[in-house]
Amino acid sequence: MLDDENAPIHPLFAGAPSSTEFKKLRKRIVRETRDAIEKYGMIERGARWLVCLSGGKDSYTLLAVLHELKWRGLLPVDLLACNLDQGQPGFPSTVLPKFLEDMGVPHRIEYQDTYSVVKEKIPEGRTYCSLCSRLRRGNLYRIAREEGCSAVVLGHHRDDILETFFMNLFHGGRLATMPPKLVNEEGDLFVYRPLAFVAEADCERFARAMNYPIIPCDLCGSQEGLQRVQVKQILDGWEARSPGRRQIMFRALMNVRPSHLCDPSIFDFAALMRGAPAEGMPAPPGVPDLRG
C-alpha cells in the first residue's frame, strides 16, 4: 500500500517533491516508523495519542508520518497535535496554529510560561535542559489526561536515543537511554517515540524538502558547550570516519548480552558454573531475561 504512488495522501504530504530521491526518503521514514510502532507494541486500537509538536524538524516529521499512516488505515488511533508555548521571547506563536489549521490537523495550543521559571531557577551559565524538560513533560501529561489521551508521543529519533545513551555512559555512570516505549511514573500514560529507528539526517532532509515552517529553540539551543552537543560532535566524528557507525551502535542497544556485562542484578554470576555456557544461565528471579 505504501508503494502505491496513485493512492491519496494526507494534506501534510501535499506538494511533496516528485523526485525519486525524495520518494525513497519518504518511504524509508514511513517504513521505519511503522516498524518501530509494531515492534514495540504501541498500537491500542481506538486509543487517542497526544502528538507533541515543538515546531522543529523532528516533530514535523513525526506529525506527517503518523497522519500518513492513519490516512492509509495503518494506524487505528486518533491523533491530537499539541504545541506547548513555553513563553520564550520572540516565539512566533501564530506559526503552528496557522499551519495546523491549514493542514486540517486537530490540535490544541497551550500557553504556559515555563521560560520565566527556568530563567529564575537556573543560574546563568548552567544548562536549562533538565528543568525545562521536566516542566514541559508535566504540562504535556496534564494535557493528555484532560484530552482523554492514553499516550504522549514524542519526536525523538535514533540519534537522540544514541546521544542519551552516551550521555548516561559518560556522565551518569549507567547503561540507559530513552526507550521507544515506556509508562510514566504515575502509571497512567504511555510515552511513545515512533521515530526511534529514523536517522536525524532523514528528518532534516524530509522537513526541509516539505518546506515546513521550522521554529528553532532559542532557550537550550542557544547555549554553548552542552553535554549533548559534545556527544553529538563525537558521534559525528565517528560517523565521518566510518559511515554507518551510528546504525551499528543503535543495533547494539537492541542486542543486549547481560552475561557479558558486569551487573549481577541482571545476570546471576554467583550461580555460574564450569561446563555451563554463560548465555545459557537464567536471569535472577523477577528480572526480565533480556537475551535474544
Query: What residues contact 158, with CB distance under 8 A and at least 6 apart?
Result: 195, 196, 197, 198, 199, 200, 246, 247, 250
Q: Does residue 268 have a pLDDT over 70?
A: yes
Place of cell 550521555: 167
Q: Does residue 65 have a pLDDT over 60?
A: yes
Helix (H) or strand (E) holding 207: helix 200-209
How many alpha carbons lie under 13 Å from residue 260 in its C-beta half-sphere?
8
Q: Are the C-beta atoms of 131 and 121 separated by less than 8 Å?
A: yes
Does 203 appear as a known binding residue?
no
Count of beta carbons in the 10 Å neighbourhood of residue 36: 20
Average pLDDT over residues 250-278: 89
Average pLDDT over residues 120-134: 71
> Which of residues 198 and 116 earns the better pLDDT score?
198
CATH topology of domain 11-218: Rossmann fold (3.40.50)
Average pLDDT over residues 168-173: 92
Which pLDDT does position 224 carry in this prediction? 43
Which pLDDT does position 265 carry in this prediction? 94
Grid coordinates representing 133 are 524538560
Q: What span, in angstroms and rounded, lies between the C-alpha atoms of 144 and 150? A: 7
> Which of residues 220 and 114 earns the better pLDDT score?
114
Does 132 appear as a known binding residue?
yes
Bridge-based pairing state of the strands 190-192 and 181-183 = antiparallel
Q: Is 112 left (phi over 0), alpha (psi -120 to 50) or beta?
A: beta
Q: What span, in angstroms and rounded, lies between the C-alpha atoms of 289 and 70? A: 34
Average pLDDT over residues 181-207: 97
Confidence of residue 77 (pLDDT cuts 50, 70, 90): very high
Q: How far is CA 8 from the centre of its chain?
A: 27
**Mean of the per-residue pLDDT values of the chain:** 87
Which pLDDT does position 222 carry in this prediction? 46
Which pLDDT does position 132 carry in this prediction? 77
Confidence of residue 152 (pLDDT cuts 50, 70, 90): very high
Confidence of residue 290 (pLDDT cuts 50, 70, 90): very low
**pTM of structure:** 0.87
Which pLDDT does position 220 carry in this prediction? 52
Does 82 appear as a known binding residue?
no
